């Protein structure tokens, strides 16, 4: 995100352009990433916790089934709230209602009781009395029965992904019996290709082939962890089959010195997009990174990634996450147009020219509309180091020998 503070475009409500579901996802309040310096429009800004209050607290673990999910605002009104439960790799929206006065959201009926061994996400958008929007995103996990473990994994069932997609499991407990757990997860494809697992520490296991998937490949993930021992007296609970499809190939090459991004589709150059990358003090990672999230609009707060209070932009448009540490490709409406293609001024992200409301035929919107989860973005000629293979889905930065060496099954 750029630290140039000039804004472009009129203020006002964000216009969302995708489907009904994405109309809610569009305002995910992921409090991470890089951005420009001054993002306020005047007056004292509330912190996200002050503007939108959510219980249970963010990243709470072991939440009991009788705990309640609640979203409140001290003033203004809630515009939208989405609560999602992820259990056995299946997403289910939790039914709830915003109160007539717009100040609170509560679940309905049986949805008020939390499921066990589940991960929940809460995405809320509020509008204050001056018409300014703010967004907040939180997650929490519920209690897992004693001596049990589960794995949260991506991609989603029945999704269509890019050719760089990596199947990734994050376990809620440390796994000591890694071979047994890895054998219980079977990843196969049609057409067939060898797929190997790689452990990152004791709680993450990723799977990928030697090279990017071929377009049109059908991938099946069989999760047979139920009653598998992952550690002494700790057993798995999941028994599930997940399938996803690999779509067309799209690989985008960002040259930080040239300030350009070449977008190639199935090997053919589609477009060369002017960009701004990380400044010399906060350069962008080099290496291959995979799009893991897509958000029509999100909040980026420098305090969540170690930049202090340098920036807090509540309506960053067309945001594509590349790393867990906060690297994005995203729209930038607050910087002068002449920086794109000429100057690197961001805090490590890759910025594309955009409009504040996300509309118009801008480079950022063009790229967002043509991207899939699992697409690859490779950065070259940056002054920073190569991205770590466990920072997001960045395992393609290891060669096949290195990747297979991280398997517990030989």
- Considering only the top CATH level, what class is 250-292+322-396? mainly beta
The ranges of the chain with pLDDT < 50 are 1-33, 35-43
Which one is catalytic: 137, 198, 347, 349?
A: 349
147 a catalytic residue: no
Q: 20-142 and 148-248 share one CATH topology?
A: yes
| Residue 56: per-residue pLDDT | 96
pLDDT digits (tens, 9 = 90+) for 179-238: 999 999 999 999 999 999 999 999 999 999 999 999 999 999 999 998 788 999 898 989
Query: What fold is seen in the domain 20-142?
Result: Immunoglobulin-like (2.60.40)
Domain boundaries, the chain: 20-142, 148-248, 250-292+322-396
Q: In the chain, pLDDT over 90 holds for what percent of residues?
A: 70
According to the model, what pLDDT value does residue 10 have?
A: 36
Look up 330 and say whether it is catalytic.
Answer: yes
pLDDT of residue 113: 78
Tell me how far CA of residue 154 lies from CA of 126, 167, 205, 342, 391, in angstroms: 29, 6, 11, 36, 15
- Tell me what pLDDT residue 48 has: 54
Classify each residue of 317-336 as buried b or exposed e, where b means 16 or more C-beta atoms within 10 Å of its C-beta.
bbbbbbbebbbbbbbbbbbe
Which string of DSSP letters, residue by residue, matches 205-269?
Answer: EEEEESSPPPTT-EEEEEEE-BT-EEETTEEE--EEEEEEEE---EEEEEETTTTEEEEEETTEE
Of these residues, 34, 330, 347, 410, which one is catalytic?
A: 330
Class of domain 148-248: mainly beta
Q: Give the per-residue pLDDT at 21.
A: 38
**Size of the chain, expressed as the number of residues it contains:** 410
């Amino acid at each position: 995100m750029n630290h140039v503070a000039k804004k472009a475009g009129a203020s006002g409500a964000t216009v969302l352009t995708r489907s009904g579901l994405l109309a809610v996802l569009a305002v995910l309040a992921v409090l991470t990433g890089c951005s420009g310096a001054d993002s306020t429009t005047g007056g004292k800004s509330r912190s996200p916790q002050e503007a939108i209050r959510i219980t249970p607290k963010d990243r709470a673990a072991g939440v009991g089934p009788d705990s309640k999910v609640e979203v409140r605002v001290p003033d203004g009104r809630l515009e939208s709230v989405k609560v999602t439960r992820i259990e056995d790799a299946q997403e289910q929206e939790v039914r709830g209602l915003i109160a007539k006065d717009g100040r609170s959201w509560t679940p309905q009926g049986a949805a008020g009781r939390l499921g066990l061994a589940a991960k929940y996400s809460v995405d809320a958008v509020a509008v204050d009395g001056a018409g300014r929007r703010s967004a907040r995103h939180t997650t929490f996990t519920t209690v897992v029965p004693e001596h049990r473990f589960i794995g949260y994994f991506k991609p989603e069932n029945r999704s269509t992904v890019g050719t760089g997609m990596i199947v990734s499991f994050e376990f809620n407990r440390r796994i000591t019996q890694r071979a047994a757990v890895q054998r219980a997860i079977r990843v196969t494809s049609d057409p067939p290709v060898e797929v190997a697992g790689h452990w990152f520490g004791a709680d993450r296991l990723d799977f990928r082939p030697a090279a990017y998937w071929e377009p049109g490949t059908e991938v099946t993930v069989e999760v047979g962890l139920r009653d598998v021992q992952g550690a002494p007296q700790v057993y798995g609970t999941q028994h599930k089959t997940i399938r996803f499809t690999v779509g067309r190939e799209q690989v985008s090459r960002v040259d930080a010195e040239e300030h350009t991004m070449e977008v190639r589709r199935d090997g053919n150059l589609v477009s060369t997009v002017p960009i701004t990358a990380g400044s010399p003090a906060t350069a962008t990672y080099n290496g291959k990174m995979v799009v893991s999230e897509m958000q029509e609009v999100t909040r980026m707060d420098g305090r969540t990634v170690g930049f202090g209070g340098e920036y807090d932009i509540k309506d960053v448009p067309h945001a594509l996450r590349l790393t867990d540490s906060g690297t994005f490709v995203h729209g930038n409406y607050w910087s002068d147009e002449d920086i794109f293609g000429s100057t690197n001024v961001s805090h490590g992200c890759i910025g594309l020219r955009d409009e504040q409301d996300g509309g118009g035929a801008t480079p950022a919107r063009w790229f967002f509309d043509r991207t899939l989860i699992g697409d690859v973005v490779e950065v070259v000629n940056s002054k920073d180091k190569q991205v770590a293979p466990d920072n997001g889905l960045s395992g393609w930065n290891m060669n096949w020998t290195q990747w297979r060496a991280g398997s517990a099954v030989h």
